[in-house]
Copies of this chain bind each other. A is one copy, B any other.
Amino acid sequence: MKKKETLSIVKIGGNIVDNPEALKAFLYDFHRLEGRKMLVHGGGVMASKMASQLGIETKMVQGRRITDEETLKLVTMVYAGWINKNIVASLQQIGCNSIGLSGADANTIPSVRRSPEPIDFGFVGDPNPEKINATFLSQLIESNITPVFCAITHDGHGSLLNTNADTIAYSVATALSNQYDTSLYYCFEKKGVLRDLNDSKSLIPSMTRAECEKYKQQGIIADGMIPKLDNSFRAIENGVSRVIILHAKNLLKQQGTVLL
């Protein structure tokens, strides 16, 4: 059997996007990563700042933004406009040919608007990994063009949808794992999954699903880490080779929590 080519899908969050120096250092490392690659970025911190500049109230439920019409406009401007195009221009500068995409572009990520029950999140959608336009994405990758996704998708009925960036990374990684030996990197502000949030030396270097469930029961894993890990293990079950949760500055060292 022919060995599959490697593909790295890296997700970065709003904190790094909002820090020009950290972003620059990260993009440089990302460019040096070997093999085919793809970037997915958030931007919540900048969206919240722009919301307050425009006098739009930020409403969060369970860590997720309630997206009314005004907020959809705001996040589309910030994520798909300002952040996405600046990342692309910065990557072009260092010689990484890239293309900025929302899920509407080339119908790459068709999504379904989330049911208004039990909580109405507004214009928020969840991608269907089976409907992702993997053919187009692999055409880009094979042409040495690095896709850069913002966290905006569409419903196919004319509406854009605010979409969790972790979920986009998971969905795209899953869809491309038939074709590539795919690694998924979730970069965030900690070194990985920690036993004790206040002790950066308490890193859990690797974790199986069974171990993860045990940590959840013990309360070691809680809050925002739960959906991130659920996405990660689902990715592995659906063909992604490995998921690493790590600090952006450790991307090239690949040091963090490896999920097996």
Contacts and interface: CB of A to CB of B under 8 A. Distances in A.
Contacts of A54: 53-54
Contact of A160 (B78, B86, B97): B86
Contacts of A79: 81
A122 B153 CA distance: 33
B88 A105 contact: yes
A92 to B, nearest CB: 6
Contacts of A197: none
A89 B136 contact: no
B77 A92 contact: no
A99 interface: yes
B93 A157 contact: yes
B102 A106 contact: no
A159 interface: yes
Contacts of A97: 106-107
Contact of A106 (B53, B76, B89, B145): B145
B80 A160 contact: no
A84 B79 CA distance: 13
Contacts of A82: 73, 76-77, 80-81
Interface in A126-152: 136, 139, 143, 145, 152
A85 interface: yes
Contacts of A90: 158
A73 B104 CA distance: 22
Contacts of A227: none
A156 B106 contact: no
Nearest to A102: B85
B152 A85 contact: yes
A192 interface: no
A154 interface: yes
A256 interface: no
Given A77-B82, A80-B84, A100-B105, 16 more contacts: A77-B78, A77-B81, A78-B81, A81-B81, A81-B82, A85-B104, A86-B160, A88-B154, A90-B158, A92-B154, A92-B156, A97-B106, A99-B105, A99-B106, A100-B102, A139-B143
20 contacts: A54-B54, A76-B81, A76-B82, A76-B85, A76-B86, A77-B82, A80-B100, A81-B82, A85-B102, A85-B160, A88-B102, A88-B154, A89-B160, A92-B158, A93-B158, A99-B101, A100-B102, A100-B104, A136-B145, A139-B139
